Chain A
Amino acid sequence: MRRTWWIYLIAVLGLIAVAAPFVWMLLGSFKTQGELLRVPPTWLPEAPTTQNYDDLFSKANFPRYFLNSTIVALAVTAGNLLFCSMVGYALAKLNFHGRNALFVVVLGTLMIPGVVTFVPLFVLVTNAGLANSYPGLILPFLVSPFGVFLMRQFFQGLPDDLMDAARVDGSSELGIFARIMLPLTRPALATLGILTFLGSWNNFLWPLVVAQTEEKYTLPVALALYSTGQNAQNFGLLMAGAVVVVLPVLVIFLAFQRHVTKGIAITGIK
């Protein structure tokens, strides 16, 4: 018992170090511009104000960016759940020519840096007339090697006997996938769905390149441009903007954190 108190002390100090910037952000978003610049800085807002949030939603068009982020993240998540489970099932449970080759290609692309593909992707998307459009933001992310890998791992853990039994009962191959196997992977789908949503919500480089007018900005793009442009001096607005970017993922993560950490531990990939 004597040994444990300092272990908890270290753990709590770590917790403070991790959480302090978040708390600082949340408190800062309720401060006035003058108070944010004060030396030495204050912790609690002296005269709490919601002015920053009012400005965010009236002047800065953040509802639009919020909607864009939501549309893109939901579409990307839906696509990944559908297509990655289909391929993952085929790779894990079906016998077909080229299965191993397909799997090797999927694994190989896991380590290609995003920066390698974005110039030709940009040329492609521009020539297809999809620049500055939702399809341009969504299509390149509808499938992911990571998702295929994750779903394949889960499907492999399911017993083949289930499929054989269904075949004896006269079920079609696609019926076996859709009605018997897919419902059993609900935990895997939850993991993939949450990770994909978080990844898409936080995605930055591609939307920065594709979204060229304000109506198509996603939240991170808008916040980044606000924080480097002329508005860079409006610190309260930036703090409130950061809160709006972080809060949804925070809520989703806290509600489903079990799935997230389990998925990370299983596949070992962020």
Chain B
Amino acid sequence: MSSATLQAPEVPQRKSSGPAARSRRSGARGRQTAAAWILTLPFVVLFLAFTAGPVLGSLGMSFTDLKQRDLRTPFAVNGVGFSNYVKALQDETFRKAALNTAYFVLVGVPLTLALALAAAVLLDRGVKRFQSLFKVAYYLPVITSIVAIAVIWRFVLAPESGLLNTVLSWVGIDGPNWLASKTWAMPSLIMMAVWRNFGSAMIIFLAGLQGIPATVEEAGQLDGAGSWQRFRYLIVPLLRPTILFTSVTTGIGYLQFFEEPFVMTQGGPLNSTVSVSMYTYQQFGFGNYGVATAMSYILFVVIAVITFIQFRLLREK
């Protein structure tokens, strides 16, 4: 159905300014306001109760000594100022968790984006037949439950009967006991996260690539630029907004690194894979609600600052 067939005849009321027109207009405005109220009310109620309220509640709790035993009387607890924040920042495991999370983000995000971009270029420029088959297949891990992925990957990473070490043994490499090694546990989780997530950035890159007109590359070709030069000096600069966008969203996701260590290593061995989110969850499990919320707010502030910086970079170009 085209909109032209349903187009209303020109109604001059918008331009007239007599009192009748004004009251008719404010009547229409009133009806729209009433409708907007009805349409947004359920959302606003649910949003206040289950998102905005808890966000503020979390901030409030982070300044109290709320413990599990006070669960029924959350308003009768004492304020403790910034001591939960101090406690968190002085906690050695929390610092270890912050370092681990930084390691995960700084290595994981570039790897994920590089693989996603490579796959997107491969599919967009190289693979003409079966393109959607490859696209769907590369995207599959993104929609798979992390818990199921963890179960599968425990077998992939198993020391002797594992898929990865079996493949490595074909080329004469004696693979480590990935998840039990202090050195290799984190790279294992990064490998798994990259495998799982690159498809989601790939889809966005594909959309970005399809927005670049073919004439750009043809012009580069005429000027004698090789395919690597065309990629480096034409495609990458034009994709810059897309790259920054995916780095923001992937970064936000990776900063909340929780499920991988929770199901794969429980933070071990020797806290080498414990993340900020996971340590927060552990503190919650111990009933230290004040400290747990303080930790989650520290993470939130870090995410907000990084996002803000990245958006500034995004706007400049």
Question: A residues within 8 Å of B by Cβ?
Answer: 4, 7-8, 10-11, 14-15, 17-22, 24-25, 28, 36-41, 82-84, 86-87, 89-90, 94-97, 99, 102, 105, 109, 111-124, 126-127, 139-140, 142-143, 145, 148, 159, 161-162, 164-165, 167-168, 172-174, 177, 198, 201-202, 204-205, 209, 219-220, 223-224, 227-228, 235, 238-239, 241-243, 245-246, 249-250, 253-254, 257, 260-261, 264-265, 268-270
Give A136 to B154 CA distance when docked, in angstroms.
32
Assess A123 versus B289: contact at CB under 8 Å? Given A90-B39, A111-B252.
yes
Q: A139-B50, A242-B151, A264-B203 are in contact. Are A116 and B58 (CB under 8 A)?
A: yes
Q: B181: CB under 8 A from chain A?
A: no
The answer to whether B51 touches A246 (Cβ under 8 A) is no
- Asked if A115 contacts B280 (CB within 8 A), the reply is yes
Evaluate contact between A270 and B152: CB separation under 8 angstroms: no
CA distance in complex: A209, B127 (Å) = 45
- Tell me if B46 counts as interface (CB < 8 A to partner A): yes
Q: Which of A83, A84, A202, A265 contacts B207 (CB 8 A)?
A: A265
Q: Are A116 and B39 CB-contacts (below 8 A) given A123-B74, A162-B3, A220-B147?
A: no
Task: Give the docked Cα–Cα distance between A139 and B169 (Å).
Answer: 50
**Closest residue of B by beta carbon distance from A110:** B252
User: Cβ of A96 and Cβ of B37 under 8 Å apart?
Assistant: yes
Instruction: Give the contact stretch, choosing among B90-98, B182-190, B212-220, B255-263.
Output: B255-263
A223 to B3, CA, bound (A): 51
The answer, yes or no, to whether B86 is at the interface (CB within 8 Å) is no
B151 touches A113 (CB 8 A): no
A225 to chain B, nearest CB (A): 10
**In contact, A95 and B293 (Cβ under 8 angstroms):** no
> Would you call B61 and A119 a contact (CB within 8 A)?
yes
Q: Count residues of B near A (Cβ-Cβ below 8 Å).
A: 105
Known contacts A25-B148, A25-B155; 19 further A-B pairs (Cβ under 8 A) = A11-B123, A15-B137, A82-B42, A86-B43, A87-B40, A95-B32, A102-B44, A112-B300, A117-B50, A119-B296, A120-B58, A123-B61, A204-B145, A220-B145, A227-B154, A238-B151, A241-B151, A254-B136, A268-B204
Given A120-B61, A124-B57, residue A90 in contact with residue B40 (CB < 8 A): yes
CA separation between A173 and B37, bound complex, in Å?
11
Residue B89 is within 8 A (CB to CB) of chain A in the complex? no
Distance of A241 Cα from B61 Cα, bound (Å): 38
With the chains together, A224 CA to B303 CA distance in Å? 27
Closest to A99 in B: B36
Q: Which residues of B contact A95 (CB under 8 A)?
A: 29, 32-33, 36
Contact with B7, one of A15, A102, A165, A204 (Cβ below 8 angstroms): A165
- The CA-CA distance from A111 to B47 in the complex, in Å, is 15
The answer for the CA separation of A221 and B208 in the assembled complex, in Å, is 37
